[in-house]
Structure 1
Amino acid sequence: MGEADKYRQQGDSQQNQPQYQHQGQSQNHGDYQNQAQYNQGYNNNIPAYNGNHQQQQPMNGYQDHPYGPPPPYSFNPPKREDDEKYSFNDAFKLEKPKYNDWWAGLLFLAAFGGYVAISGLSIHGYSKGFAGHGIYDDLNSFSLNSNTIILFAFCLVIAFVFSYIYVWLARLFPKQFIWITGIINLAWALGTAIYYLIKGYWSAGIVFIIFAAFLIFAFFTWISRIPFSALMLKTSIDVSKKYGHVYLVSLIGGFCATALAAWFSVTLVAIYVSYEPSPDNPRCSVSGNNCSHSKVIGFVVYVTFAMFWISEWLKNTIHTIIAGVYGSWYFSPHNFPKRATRGAAKRALTYSFGSICFGSLIVAFIQALKQLCSVVRSQAASEGGVAGWITYAIFCLLTCVISIIEWAVQFVNRYAFCHIALYGKAYIASAKDTWRMIKDRGIDALVNDCLVGPVLSFGAIFIGYACALFAYLYLLETDPPYNRDGGFTAVIMAYAFLIGFQIGHVFTTPIGSGIDTIFVAAGWDPQVMIRDHPELYQEMIRVYPKVQQAIH
């Protein structure tokens, strides 16, 4: 007798077990003529387990929860004669497929079109103006130039290589990965802070000291939660090695993120060259027509916002695709759907395209505000004086408030997109249902005690700071004419950090997506965890006993 059969016999009453049917086959819910019948049959047969799996009692009915039971097709499908044709769409069938939140998809395409237009005009203007080809041979001394493009190109290489290495560290050493991340980030923060302070760059030095202090405090308080987090990370890595094309999606996403960052870097420089007012700028007439500071600021703000939105859409699309793969593993471990990655990708790029754009828009708007605060804060610190430091303190506080809002929205998005991947609902409906499920089930306790998400964020931050440090050293060494007074240092470092952080985030998204999906799936149907993944469930109980209460 297999392990799954033993747990099925311990967890289910043979007398009360309903006989599910699906298209004439067994083990699904076709016998129920309506949803009320299904609710009653399902609710009466879900046991609550104690540590020894000896007692059982009925759980509260799903009818008490506004999100209802999981759809009938979300259970492990039976073995059939046509298993070779069994696909992701068969496992997670949409009864009435439709394009959800289509307005957000159209708005995203319009924003992308605007980004293309501004980029095209700016790059064309750049090619007609001071289009230097090296680090020192650009005659442009009034704005960003080819020197800056080369700087960003190096940042792209650093971000791509570091992100790739970071993902492979997670793959090779999942149990030690959390400690590795903590040690690397702490050493990096302290070393960088000391360097900035020695060089007299006080604002950056103070930021890194605060970051190092926060890391020390965080990992001291996280020690008790590391075993549970390491287990979930190891589970995610093990599944990624056996099912779907998780690392291929990560690699493709990383290439796309790098290409997007390269495009953005050239566009940013081209905007300054084409529209920065200066007597030395051949793109401007003597009277300054066609060039203005307001035009530069407007274009930079727009392309920055568009870049946030596009990169968030890319990250969330990857997350949704990977959620489909892990959802297939959770609900169908013995009959994994064929071409699950392709099926999940097709749904994410069609029916769920608008929903992903909608959720990404909210985060992009918040991130653009935070980036603006970061630039203003850095500029204020570089100016110095009482007024400068007061402004710095105000925008530090504002950045913290915006970061908290961003965290809350990202928290909901992570699990809402898992729901969208499996059940195909619109964004608002998925967010509401998932949030109610998380609170009612107690999944928020698992989420809060799992460190993988914060650890991956620290990894992306590390990559961003590495790019920012390189940008600072590059400007210090090359001393471009446009930055003789240091006026562009803060802006360039901020965008270098942004490039590294976004590429790192895209690369590591698939790792966290697997764990997020396991949590959501366990909330929707904990019985599948107990019945079809008994080894994982037992190990979770061993390292984190509260899991019994959390998923019940």
Structure 2
Amino acid sequence: MAKQHQKYEGVPVAEAAAVVFPVHTAVSDATTAFEDSSLPTATPVSNKHHNAEQEDGITVTWEKGELQPSEFRDKLFAVVFGLHLLALTSTAIVLTPAWLKEITDTASGSEEDEASDSSVNESSASPAFLATVFAIAIVAAPALSLFAMFVMQKNAKVLIKASLWASVTLCGFLAIICLVTVPPAGIVYGIITAFLFCYARRVEHKIPYAACNLRCGISVLTSNLGLVLIAFGVMIGLIGYTCLWAIAFGASMSKDEMWEDVQQVDEYSSDGKTLSAFGGTVAALFGLSFYWTHQALKNVVRVSVAGVTGTWWFSPSEAASFCSVAVRDSFFRSTTYSFGSICFGSLIVAVLHMIRSMLRSSANGNGNGGNVLRCIAVCILSYIEALVEYFNKWAFIYVGLYGYDYISAGKRVMSLFKTRGWDAIIADNLVNRLLGITSLTIGLLTGLCTLFVAFCFEENSAGMLGAGFLIGLVIGLVISGITFGLLSSAVDSIIVCYAEAPSEFNESHPVEAQDMHETWTSAWPSHNLNTLVVIGLGGGMGVV
């Protein structure tokens, strides 16, 4: 069991005493045999630490996570990821000069268009206007995000409840409007509203538990604001990668061998050029690179947040400053030892995304009846991709907490959801709904700030007013989205930590632990997270 000031390098494993509790008599022969054994109560029989819940007379047990040694995992995927970035960079270096020359030659032949563009240049935004709008947005969005977190920490329960019922009200309002304008759509929205209403009534008593998780997540983030720097650093890296990708993609697709001539064969096609088989393969690989890199870098941040949350949970003294030891160590682990696991999980989502995009492009590309099957396939893949992404976000929590490889982390997630799946999903859903609404609100407020600035500069230009508002809206959404993305990851990590180590939380954060225990007991009175059982199941995991 971790001490408050002990250096944290992952969730600790404690030797647990075997405490046997009666279970349902018809559960299994293995349980009966265990109860009839001669082992006395509270005799240490395992060096593994287990958590358990009891519900309806059935004891559900899973083995606690175990800190993994510091070594590289899923190395192959990290190597492949590095090689693919090297190939992308080499492509851009080799092909860009010829491509730029071609673009320059093409541009020099259309100088007559400059006269028509001069009027646009005269009415374009001045540098002072753009600089002021960007400066206001960059200051306002972080300030509003921090203020929003302060308000959420003080009023988490009220705000989560308000966001829940606001979604029901908004959907009902849309149903009424659509019933008047588009009746079929109104019926659909009416059905959705009914389901949302039933859901809201069903989970309303679980809001205090979700609010407690949100408050803990805010404490993690505000105590380790260096995570925000990591997130923005990753965003800058993504922007740089996107520019490199665009150059390499444009230079590659400018080659003649990527295209082939086609003639009109039906009313849906026309003479011209289309991608050759080789060009289609290259385009697909570029698409895979784009999706994979964006997923991987995003998940680096998530794994880093999970590691910091684990430190805050067990050794809060090491996670209590802007760039704390926890922030530095967690980011180092996520970009070294765990990077292969991150690349592995991200690649699965990227492949699904690429296949879905190819099917969608194929469906849009011709007008025959086969589009129906393609649309069905695209729909199915969309749901599969969403499920895999949702599974990944929990798997990466285990990667950040323990340093597991991707497959082992996935097994831990399956074990968690066998025992507490709906609990985690409901808390996650309630919190993320509030964060989404808050992010949109911050985007709109930032847009209003920049709109005021635009009015002061260019009150007679409707175009400049619109541009000012749009710039503020986008910057507000991006900055608040990054901040609340970190908060969402912290909340998910809190959910996992409480499932794995509720008693340790009481040692490091007694006030928060008491609040968590009370809200948990109120939401799920039949569950007991503090019960410890040891039942022989071969692998030590499963449902008895």
Considering the TM-score relative to the shorter chain, is it more than 0.5? yes
Deviation track 1:103-138 (CA, whole Å, cap 9, x = no partner) reads 11111112222333344455444312235789x989
Displacement after TM superposition at 1:219 (Å): 7.4
Q: Is the 8 A contact 2:303 2:399 kept in 1?
A: yes
1:307: which partner in 2? 290
Residues 312-355 of structure 1: CA distance to partner in whole angstroms, max 9, x if unpaired?
A: 11011111111111100011135648511111111112211212
Distance 1:457 1:236, change over 3 A: closer
Instruction: Flag the structure with higher strand content.
Output: 2
Contact 2:2-2:315 within 8 A present in 1 as well: no
Which residue of the partner structure matches residue 316 of structure 2?
333
CA 1:548/1:533 → structure 2, altered by over 3 Å: closer, same or farther?
farther
1:271-282 maps to which residues of 2 (within 5 A)? Answer: 271-275=252-256, 277=259
What residue is the counterpart of 1:455 in the other structure?
A: 433
- Aligned partner of 2:117 in structure 1 is none
Deviations 1:250-281 (A, max 9, x none): 222232233333444444444444456489xx
Matches of 1:331 and 1:46, distance apart in 2: 27
Match of residue 344, structure 1, among 317, 330, 333: 330
Matches within 5 A, 1:207-222: 218=196, 221-222=199-200
1:414 matched to 2:393? The reply is yes
Q: Distance in 1 between matches of 2:426 and 2:407?
A: 26
Cα distance per residue 1:426-483 (max 9 Å; x no partner): 22122223432442xx3323211121575389679989xx9xxxxxxxxxxxxxxxxx
CA–CA separation in structure 1 for the residues paired with 2:186 and 2:89 = 36
Which of 211, 215, 223 is matched with 1:242 structurally?
Answer: 223
Matches within 5 A, 1:137-152: none
Corresponding residue of 1:371: 357
Aligned to 1:354: 340
- One-letter amino acid of the counterpart of residue 107, structure 1: V
Shift, 1:226, TM fit: 4.8
**2:269 alignment partner in structure 1:** none
Question: Identity of counterpart residues, as a percentage?
Answer: 20
Corresponding position of 2:210: 229
Q: Which amino acid aligns with 1:416?
A: A
Do the aligned partners of residues 278 and 409 (structure 1) sit closer, same or farther apart at CA in structure 2, a change above 3 Å counting? closer
Q: How does 1:374-453 map to 2 (within 5 A)?
A: 374-377=360-363, 379=364, 387=368, 391=371, 393-439=372-418, 442-450=419-427, 451=429
Structure 1 272/437 Cα, relative in aligned 2: closer, same or farther at 3 Å?
same
Residue identity matched to 1:412: F
1:526 maps to which residue? Answer: 502
Q: Higher relative CO (CA 8 A, sep ≥ 6), structure 1 or 2?
A: 2
- Does structure 2 conserve the Cα–Cα contact (< 8 Å) formed by 1:244 and 1:340? no
Unaligned 5+ runs, structure 1: 1-19, 29-34, 49-56, 72-91, 140-153, 280-287, 467-499
Q: For structure 2, which runs of at least 5 residues remain unmatched after alignment?
A: 8-12, 23-40, 52-60, 114-129, 262-271, 445-475, 531-544
| Superposed CA offset, 1:407-440 (max 9, x none) | 333333223222222322322122223432442x
Q: What is the distance in 2 between the residues matched to 1:269 and 1:215?
A: 46
Contact 1:253–1:506 (8 Å) recurs in 2: no
Once residues 185 and 45 of structure 1 are traced to their aligned partners in structure 2, the CA distance between those partners, rounded to angstroms, is 46
**Secondary structure, aligned partner of 1:330:** helix
CA 1:166–1:244 in structure 2 vs 1: closer, same or farther (change >3 Å)? closer
Amino acid at match of 1:549: H
Q: Indicate yes or no: 2:294 matched with 1:317.
A: no
Which structure: larger Rg?
2
Cα-to-partner distance string for 1:122-167 (whole Å, 9 max, x where unaligned): 5444312235789x9899xxxxxxxxxxxxxx9xx9xx98997996
The 1:125/1:502 distance shift into structure 2, 3 A limit, reads farther
1:67-216 maps to which residues of 2 (within 5 A)? 68-71=63-66, 96-121=69-94, 123-131=96-104, 171-174=149-152, 175=156
Cα distance between partner residues in 2 of 1:234 and 1:540: 10
